[in-house]
Amino acid sequence: MMRAGTFGACRKWRPTAMLAAVLCAPGGAFAAATTVAVEHFGELADGTPVDLYTLKSSALEVSITNYGGRIVTLKTADRSGRVDDVVLGYDGFAPYLTGRPFFGAVVGRYANRIARGRFTLDGHTYQLPINNNGNSLHGGLVGFDKRLWQGRIEGNGVLLTYLSKDGEEGYPGNLTATVRYRVVRNELRVEYGATTDRDTVVNLSNHSYFNLAGAGNGNILGHELTIYADRFTPLDATQIPTGELRSVAGTPFDFRRPHAIGERIDADDDQLRIGHGYDENWVLNAYPGKPALALVAYEPVSGRVMEVLTDQPGLQLFSGNFLGPLTGKGGRTYDVRSAFCVETQHFPDSPNHRDFPSTLLRPGQVFKSTTIFRFSTRR
């Protein structure tokens, strides 16, 4: 059974099937109606219920669970009007408890890698769990992707809140993290926030796996990408940044003009060998400031286009190099390179690189960040 809320300063619409949230323009005229509803999705091992929120406009339908703050489905039309789900995941709740491959999840307290799981703050060295090639990845063994967030319908979306207690996964400070998902016409807006009572580090991102042809519909090598970045952060053998900001010119990482993901993915390049394909952080040209265009993805068969806008300094492109084989939605097989991730972020291992944009958060400060996923089609 679904529950829902209502927002806006206009008259309330209450369909018999469910209560819906409707966005209205000033004066009472509908601007871009968005409905928001919540239903039961499953239970944790101790019986705690897990919810699924569905946000729907005329152009998008997005489902979010408060377990890991995950995007479970994202449905949008192709150039002929056919609607498909373009994010990988599972049909029910139980498979998400297995953890990886982070389908749709909010990753934190620190998205991406921290070298050897160590950083020093205020003269104290903190040790985090090691869970990836000698490093700490995406917050450790039990990161934000494996936590139950508190959720509530708010406006044209859902607000999720999680209290990460002092010492959780080795991080200092009681950190209150929020993620607000909103659907506005053809856009999914993801707004992150955090406060702390002790000096700490924070880097939040979303780990959705996209296939604009439809989840489970072949590989993503034909997707054409444009990335608005002149530089990237090369990695050592354990996928930790060396500290260099290297020009993309003359490398397979130059997406300043559109290139298919598969065009150069197997080129003779040491960085591609380290990641077994693309798994790199790009230094975005437009940082800092308000959200600016960072990436455009185009799938030529369906005609779907996804634009990614962010106010973060970096963007991680992961070409699904270690996916599958596993069974996903509708019994379809997800295999290697059957989806790609676009993780807006601060750079990997920033706490150990003074020249990188800082991820330090102090008491009294508020971490805020916005990423927008905008969908359309080309003829």
Average pLDDT, the chain: 92
What pLDDT does 138 receive?
97
pLDDT tier for residue 18 given thresholds of 50, 70 and 90:
very low
Type of residue at 160 = L
Longest alpha-carbon distance in the chain: 61
CB 301 within 8 A of CB 281: no
| pLDDT at residue 31 tops 70 | no
Tell me which residue of 174, 188, 25 sits closest to 104, measured CA to CA.
Answer: 188
What pLDDT does 53 receive?
98
Type of residue at 22 = V
What pLDDT does 224 receive?
98
Could you give the percent of the chain with pLDDT greater than 70?
92
| DSSP 8-state secondary structure symbol assigned to residue 32 | S
What pLDDT does 275 receive?
96
| DSSP 8-state secondary structure symbol assigned to residue 261 | G
What pLDDT does 32 receive?
57
Topology annotation, domain 3-377: Beta-galactosidase; Chain A, domain 5 (2.70.98)
Type of residue at 347 = F
| pLDDT at residue 4 tops 70 | no
Tell whether pTM > 0.75: yes
Condensed to tens digits (0 to 9), the pLDDT of residues 161-204 reads 999 999 999 999 999 999 999 999 999 999 999 999 999 999 99
- The position carrying tokens 């998400």 is 96
Active site residue 207: yes
pLDDT tier for residue 288 given thresholds of 50, 70 and 90:
confident
How confident is the model over 138-157, as a mean pLDDT? 96
| DSSP 8-state secondary structure symbol assigned to residue 128 | P
Condensed to tens digits (0 to 9), the pLDDT of residues 203-262 reads 999 999 999 999 999 999 999 999 999 999 999 999 999 999 999 999 999 999 999 999
Residue ranges per structural domain of the chain: 3-377
How confident is the model over 2-6, as a mean pLDDT? 44
Q: Tell me which H or E stretch contains 205.
A: strand 205-206
| DSSP 8-state secondary structure symbol assigned to residue 9 | S
Question: Please, how many CA atoms are within 13 Å of residue 307, restricted to the half-sphere of its CB?
Answer: 11
Instruction: Give the 3-state secondary structure of 72-112.
Output: EEEEEECCCCCEEECECCCCCCHHHHHCCCCCCCEECCECC
Could you give the percent of the chain with pLDDT greater than 90?
89
Annotated catalytic residue within 168, 307, 343, 346: 343
Tell me which residue of 96, 85, 138, 137 sits closest to 116, measured CA to CA.
Answer: 137
pLDDT tier for residue 8 given thresholds of 50, 70 and 90:
very low
What pLDDT does 155 receive?
86
- The position carrying tokens 């040209």 is 285
Tell me which residue of 109, 128, 137 sits closest to 201, measured CA to CA.
Answer: 109
Annotated catalytic residue within 207, 223, 259, 346: 207
Task: For 318-363, give the DSSP string.
Answer: E--TT--SEE-GGGPEE-TTS-EEEEEESPTTGGG-TTSPP-EE-T
Active site residue 353: no
